[in-house]
Amino acid sequence: MTIPTGELESYSLLAALRERRSRRFGRGMKMEGALAFESRHEPMPLTGEEEALLVFAACGVTGYALADLAFAPGQGGDIMTHLVARAVSSGDGTQSVAIIVSNDSETYYVKRPQDLTNEEARILIEAARKGDLTAFYKSTRVKIKDGRAAPPLDPMYNLNCNRWSVYQPGTSYFIPINDVSFIYINGLLNILSPDTGAYILDERANFRSAGLERFAKSKGGHLNDDPKANEVLTIERMELGVAELVAIEQGMMHQNMALMAQAMGIGGFPNFAVHEYGWFEALGFRMGQLPTSKYFGEGVLFTVEATLLHRDLPIPFPLGLEANGQVLLRGHCPPYFPTMRDAVMSVVAEKFGPDGTFRGKVGLSEWRDPVGIEASTPGLSDEAIEATIAYCEYVYERYGRFPGFIAPFRTILGFQATHLDVDYYDRYYKPEAISSTHREHMSRWHKE
């Protein structure tokens, strides 16, 4: 297959935005009802190069984060976690969302920048600058299983409206995995510092302190526990904010894949993938579970009553992804760390350890004077670190996992891509429903 790279580069962003649509009907598909149609073509899988372009659009390594922040003590610039940039922006440079690609033949995990060595990152950045958009996928994908991985089609693993089309032969499915525990801890290290002084209450325990009593200003500490203060938060508010922040990163990935699909002339659409554990079980994640009473933080009497009534049901949740003896994704919590203290210190080391972002990896940047930036960024305060540890230990001990309200990993939307059956659209739609990139894809990309 020959990729018409010149045409991709000349295709305008304005045209992609104007012509982008969700287009679902691919070669080999069949639909019933008012738009009934049966394709006369055999299913045609995407090539590795076509998948690679979609992956690059979603999460390709493109260069270095500018991190144009104030790095003077107390100014908050040290909230940054990584300096290698991808095709979409990410809160604090955490690159929280990982992509998994699944097709008829194989299922792959795609490495994030933090999974790469310094030299690997430099090679991929140079490849992107030279226009080799497939290098990232070829060198960073890790096979996790043979064949397609997917949860059942039954409700509520999927919505009924998608059952006719998702996971059909010939399609490639891209499932972003939201990793929330690392960015959560990183945010805590920032807001539980003396410079911000936030204080967190547990609304599921009559709004008592979430393990932070000894750090309260009313007890001589550095966190503002005045209930009238703007700095007082709740666990749910914290975790909802983290989940939404990471979901926005995933949303940008979906938009980029949709724009790339439009430019390439293939079909694609985002679709429902919100299930607490369906995708994770299908992908082979390491799973944990906790009883419902533990999730709600209820006492012994409630637990006994719920058990007797057979209503203390187990709640499964994902902890991490491993393949061939390699840990690909890990929640920053047990069992991947002995304690929550160890999990927090791992985040601190990621930033300020000997090989951390602001130490051994500070050269992975666009800064002219990375050594000067390193010298002016002293590290995190002991008060912030100890308060973060205390809070994380409280959540884990009381609710049996970290985070407490949400699981360490989440899915929201998947993106399915396919070679379109143009005959279907010509049968039911006006000509402008299909752009020239779709009409000419088979001849330009596959010489058909």
**What residues contact 337, with CB distance under 8 A and at least 6 apart?**
343, 346
Cβ neighbours of 287 (radius 10 Å): 14
Q: Rounded to 5, what percent of the chain is helix, strand, coil?
A: 40, 20, 40
Q: Parse the chain into domains and list their residue ranges.
A: 5-446
Copy the structure tokens of residue 439: 């009409």
What is the identity of the amino acid at 350? E
Fold of 5-446: NADH Oxidase (3.40.109)
For residue range 208-224, what is the model confidence (pLDDT) as tens digits? 999 999 999 999 999 99
How far is 22 from 165, CA to CA, in rounded Å?
A: 13
pLDDT reported for residue 303: 65
CA atoms within 13 A on the CB side of 231: 18
pLDDT reported for residue 446: 94
pLDDT reported for residue 361: 92
In this structure, are residues 110 and 55 in contact, taking their beta carbons and an 8 Å threshold? Answer: yes
How far is 117 from 122, CA to CA, in rounded Å?
A: 9
Copy the structure tokens of residue 225: 């526990």
Residues of the chain with pLDDT under 50: none
CA atoms within 13 A on the CB side of 310: 0
How far is 76 from 110, CA to CA, in rounded Å?
A: 31
pLDDT reported for residue 5: 78
- Burial label, 262 (beta-carbon count in 10 A; 0-12, 13-18, 19+): buried
Copy the structure tokens of residue 312: 């203390």
For residue range 15-57, what is the model confidence (pLDDT) as tens digits? 999 999 999 999 999 999 999 999 999 999 999 999 999 999 9
How far is 417 from 25, CA to CA, in rounded Å?
A: 10
DSSP state of 26: B
Token pair 């929640």 is found at 331
CA 84 from centre of chain: 16
pLDDT reported for residue 296: 76
Coil/strand/helix, residue 312: coil
How far is 187 from 93, CA to CA, in rounded Å?
A: 12
